[in-house]
Amino acid sequence: MSIPDAPNVEPLSEFTYIIGPGDSLEMFVWGNPEISRSVTVRPDGKISFPLVEEMPASGKTSYQLAREIEKELAKYIRDPLVTIILGGGLGPYSEQIRVIGQATKPQAVTYKENMSLLDLMIQVGGLGQYAAGNRGIIIRKVNGVQQEFRVRIEDLIDGGDISANINVLPGDILIIPESFF
């Protein structure tokens, strides 16, 4: 069975970052500096801060989380105004791009709007010494069905073939196999 080449799908132009475990958040409560602080989303997806013991944060946008925090703080503070700034993290697992195999630095990477295969390879430090880059595979869910597509990383990086530079999507898994000797 032959694996088809990866299609160059349209990039996500309306991408909104979703908060996930491990993300660091800067929480500002206007007029209340004693409550404003940095928090990290725990592995269970919740955060804790003054006046609110636990609140689910994972799976929400920073805007959604700020409005929920305002509702909780309204029990103690008149008309709270909350702003959340994302300080860093990877987002939820479903939004990460995972690179495994013969990359210089295999890792999970945060998806960024309009991200391409070249952008991804720069983040993981390129191909490893023993990589078979033109036999790379992207595993992607298409309409709820997991599919595999071939990518030509070596042609892109070493050969400068820009036609091999496809768009990647949140949830993609890139597998870079080892070459045969």
CATH number at residue 167: 3.10.560.10
Of 88, 138, 142, the closest CA to residue 115 belongs to 138
Residues 166 and 100 in one domain: yes
Query: Is residue 72 assigned to a domain?
Result: yes
**Rounded-to-10 torsion of CA 65, 71, 77, 79:** 90
Residues 45 and 81 in one domain: yes
pLDDT tens digits along 119-161: 999 999 999 999 998 999 999 988 889 999 999 999 999 888 8
Query: Is residue 10 assigned to a domain?
Result: no
| Domain-ending residue, one of 50, 72, 88 | 88
Which secondary-structure segment (H or E) carries 48? Answer: strand 46-49
Q: Containing domain of residue 80, as a range?
A: 24-88
| Domain-ending residue, one of 88, 107, 142 | 88
Residues 79 and 115 in one domain: no
What are the φ and ψ backbone dihedral angles of 84, each rounded to 5 degrees? -115, 125
* Stated pTM of the model: 0.74
Which secondary-structure segment (H or E) carries 65? Answer: helix 62-73
| Domain-ending residue, one of 88, 112, 131 | 88
Q: How far apart are CA 102 and CA 118, in angstroms?
A: 15
Q: Which has more confidence, 170 or 15?
A: 170
Which secondary-structure segment (H or E) carries 100? Answer: strand 96-101
